[in-house]
Amino acid sequence: MVLSLGLILTCPSRSRCNRATLRAYRAAPPICLNSEWRIRGGRGGGKIELDHSSGPGMSDVGADAKEQANRLCEAKGWSLGALLGKGGSAAVFEVTTEAGDTALKVFFPRFIEGREGAITRKRLEIVKDRLIGHACPTLVRIHAIDEFEGAPFMVMEHVAGSMLTDVLRLVPAPAVEGIVRQIAEAAKYLEDLGLTHRDIKSDNIMVDATLTKATLVDVGVARIIDDPVGSGTDDDGKLPFVATARYSSPEYMFRLAPPGPELWRALNFYQLGGLIHDLLCGEPLFEEVVRQAASNRYLIAYAVATDIPHVKPRNGVPDYLVNLAQRCLQKDLAPRLASVSWEDFFGRDRQRENEALLGIRGDRISSSGVRTLDVAELGRSIENSIDNRLMAKGLSCRHSTTVIHHTRVDIRIRWTPPKLPPDVEIEVLIDLSEIDGQLRITASSQLRPLSAKSFEAPVVAIASDAADLELSATNQVYDLFLEASAKLIGGSDAKNGGAAN
């Protein structure tokens, strides 16, 4: 059935709206929010259709898959075990083969017919060609890919343990950093092979009984990075969107960027940011929105387009992971790629790195506090926090805050890091602006006396209604303050954090 709804998208001042994304939201080609529902965006007038495809229920399809798996196991001499999981296109069973316990993935018949079936086979050929016998310990191992009775199947490592989604609230704080690192290793390994996973999420991560060892599973939708065809799909927009809506970046969901290395790396970073969010917050990304979407399917796409997820700091988890998640979950591709690098997921702490480069020594000082947003008050608080952090390390600075508007302030800091001569200063300008429900933070720097060398960091945005906004904003500003200073005296490569001139 097709339900036609007249939908008018508005952007009141308190909404978190990216207008370009909202335009794409209204004009997008079909987007599959799950295995049954698609959004079809009307051109011009904003009319949108909600298309519910008819067909056999999931229980019927699952029964067919089990019968198919049973016939395959009888033909191969394998022993069929329990159902391990079932998604929109396939079911996975525990199977004992001559090699021991494995997992068997069989694809539902309706997903292997016609054009969509050809695309599914193309994906599996990619996996077969590049991933059988791979050497990454944090990526599920693929033993075989073949066909039986005209339908493809995959034999994989049976990863023991629990789906991360089911144990998010049980993961101990000291284990969070390791889990993020392990999944990033798997995603980076795929990228090095010229592949992208496209569906990194807690549902596709298994953790062992100690909740410390993680494995990325479900490589069935992996695709070649350099394939020029299709971004949200594999057939130039003619097939359902491939991925999970809540973990899809706006440029991917709404096809705002052409397929290629930039799009897929930006999607990897966004989804890894979603993973950090889940581990720190104890629930999947946009969980409340997904609950509400049971009666309104548009809400998920609207949230992806407009809502900045809030990432809560967690005791025992390094601050840099909170900052990293916020940068990964930026709505726009360009600032996300400019402010995040693969090294950030492998223990790189930009605060410590830049402090060392600048010659700053001493223990890290944390800020705390929860306040209702007042940009002027927030700016003065952050200004004092930076001054206090520097004083705690035996350093001094000159600083001031200028209130430009009740929604915007500039913080100006002049200081001389230990690595610079005493007659040379770095001037850092931090701009805090509240725009459309976001606190936007920018930083720029210049050497004094006036020098041609300057630096401008990419914008970082935080939801204005975040419960611990002051803590998040203070940590981000200190990060940007260090980054902007370090770039002027030979910091990390400019492509990882903006442009130095």
Q: What is the 3-state secondary structure (H, E, C) of 180-208?
A: HHHHHHHHHHHHHCCEECCCCCHHHEEEC
Is the pLDDT at 55 greater than 50, yes or no? Answer: no
367 shares a domain with 414 = yes
* Number of other residues whose CB lies within 10 A of the CB of residue 217: 23
Average pLDDT along the chain? 80
Average pLDDT over every residue of 25-40: 39
294 shares a domain with 253 = yes
Is the pLDDT at 42 greater than 60, yes or no? Answer: no
Beta-bridged to residue 461, according to DSSP, are: 440
Q: What radius of gyration do the chain's Cα atoms show?
A: 25
384 shares a domain with 302 = no
d(CA 237, CA 28): 10
* Burial (CB count <10 Å: 0-12, 13-18, 19+), residue 315: exposed
164 neighbors 207 (Cβ within 8 angstroms): yes
Q: What pLDDT score was predicted for residue 437?
A: 80
Last residue of a domain, one of 348, 368, 396: 348
307 shares a domain with 358 = no
Instruction: Read off the CATH number of the domain in which 112 is found.
Output: 3.30.200.20
Last residue of a domain, one of 317, 348, 379: 348
Sheet containing 47-52, strands listed edge to edge, beginning at the edge strand earlier in sequence = 2-6, 47-52, 37-41, 31-32
* 491 alpha-carbon distance from chain centroid: 26
d(CA 189, CA 176): 20
Number of H helices, E strands in the chain: 13, 21
Instruction: Read off the CATH number of the domain in which 477 is found.
Output: 3.90.1150
Distances (CA, A) of 473 to 287, 440, 443, 476: 24, 9, 13, 5
Is the pLDDT at 51 greater than 60, yes or no? Answer: no
388 shares a domain with 286 = no
Instruction: Read off the CATH number of the domain in which 307 is found.
Output: 1.10.510.10
CB hemisphere CA count around 424 (13 angstroms): 12
d(CA 188, CA 194): 10
Question: Which of 60-74, 126-140, 402-416 shows the lowest per-residue confidence on average (mean pLDDT)?
Answer: 60-74
pLDDT bucket at 33, cuts 50 / 70 / 90? very low
252 neighbors 231 (Cβ within 8 angstroms): yes
d(CA 288, CA 299): 10
Q: What pLDDT score was predicted for residue 463?
A: 85
Residue 28: closest CA among 331, 225, 232 = 232
Is the pLDDT at 397 greater than 70, yes or no? Answer: yes
164 shares a domain with 154 = no
Q: What pLDDT score was predicted for residue 242?
A: 55
Q: What pLDDT score was predicted for residue 312?
A: 86
What pairing do the DSSP bridges indicate for beta strands 142-148 and 162-163? unpaired
Question: Which of 109-113, 133-137, 157-161, 460-464 shows the lowest per-residue confidence on average (mean pLDDT)?
Answer: 109-113
319 shares a domain with 246 = yes
Is the pLDDT at 235 greater than 50, yes or no? Answer: no
Q: What pLDDT score was predicted for residue 180?
A: 97
Q: What pLDDT score was predicted for residue 76?
A: 94
Average pLDDT over every residue of 466-479: 89
Is the pLDDT at 497 greater than 70, yes or no? Answer: no
3-state secondary structure of 3: strand
Q: What pLDDT score was predicted for residue 167?
A: 96
419 shares a domain with 371 = yes
Average pLDDT over every residue of 52-79: 72
pLDDT in tens, 286-332: 998 988 887 787 888 899 999 888 898 898 898 899 999 999 999 99
Is the pLDDT at 37 greater than 50, yes or no? Answer: no
Average pLDDT over every residue of 207-230: 82
Q: What is the 3-state secondary structure (H, E, C) of 27-82?
A: HCCCEECCCCEEEEECCCCCEEEEEECCCCCHHHHHHHHHHHHHHHHHHHCCEEEE
* 64 alpha-carbon distance from chain centroid: 35
Please give the model's pTM, rounded to 2 decimal places.
0.70
Is the pLDDT at 200 greater than 80, yes or no? Answer: yes
pLDDT bucket at 44, cuts 50 / 70 / 90? very low
Is the pLDDT at 482 greater than 90, yes or no? Answer: yes
475 shares a domain with 369 = yes
Cis peptide before 172 (omega within 30 of 0): no
Average pLDDT over every residue of 206-226: 88
261 shares a domain with 207 = yes
270 neighbors 259 (Cβ within 8 angstroms): no
State what percent of residues in the chain have pLDDT above 90: 46
Task: Domain of residue 84: give its range.
Answer: 55-158
Q: What pLDDT score was predicted for residue 361?
A: 73
Residue 213: closest CA among 180, 246, 235, 236 = 180
Last residue of a domain, one of 348, 364, 385: 348
* Burial (CB count <10 Å: 0-12, 13-18, 19+), residue 23: middle
187 shares a domain with 294 = yes
Average pLDDT over every residue of 366-388: 75
Number of domains in the chain: 4
State what percent of residues in the chain have pLDDT above 70: 78
Question: Which of 23-27, 189-193, 273-277, 488-492 shows the lowest per-residue confidence on average (mean pLDDT)?
Answer: 23-27
64 shares a domain with 46 = no
Average pLDDT over every residue of 139-163: 91
